[in-house]
Structure 1
Amino acid sequence: MVTDAEIKRINELAKKSREQGLTDEEKQEQQALRRKYIDAVKASLRANLESIRYVEDLEDNGPKH
């Protein structure tokens, strides 16, 4: 999970990068935060996809008339 503070920091570093550039330490921090964010998005997407149930599958397992 990525916190609001971490997202704020990602945005601060992106803005600073565009305006004046980043130090090597800040670049490493930015990379680590971006990786954490991407991993969180992937995990969320994976969980959503795994929870999808197809109507055909539900009908096959439902009561027979």
Structure 2
Amino acid sequence: MLSPEKLARINELAKKKKSEGLTDVEEKEQKALREEYLTAFRGGMRHHIEGMKIVDPEGTDVTPDKLKEIQRQKGLHGRDA
């Protein structure tokens, strides 16, 4: 995840954009910070989803095969490599 300072800067730039507008330099900074945030968010979400195991009400593992393969490669949930 991004540092608290970077998150604060993203919010600061968003607030300034609404109130008075941004300079070209600030717009570029905002775009770069947002891109960095999205990259970190997507990576965290991917990690979270790849760690999921889906089980139906009867207790049967119904995790999709594609996800099982990723988990096998990463050695998650006791799936054989």
Q: Whose RCO is larger (CA < 8 A, sep 6+)?
A: 1
Note the 1:1-65 alignment, pairs <5 A: 1-55=1-55, 56-57=60-61
Total equivalences in the alignment = 58
Which segments of structure 1 move beyond 2 Å, counting only runs of 4 or more? 54-58
Structure 2: which 5+ runs fail to align?
Answer: 63-81
Higher percent of residues as helix: 1
Structure 1: which 5+ runs fail to align?
Answer: 59-65
Question: In the TM superposition, what whole-angstrom CA distance separates every residue of 1:4-34 from its partner, at most 9, and x where no partner exists?
Answer: 0000000000000000000000000000000
Q: Percent of aligned pairs with the same residue?
A: 43
Which SS does the other structure have where 2:2 is aligned? coil
In the alignment, which residue of structure 1 is the partner of 2:71? none
TM-score (norm 1): 0.82
Q: How much is the aligned-residue C-alpha RMSD, in angstroms?
A: 1.3
Which SS does the other structure have where 1:57 is aligned? coil
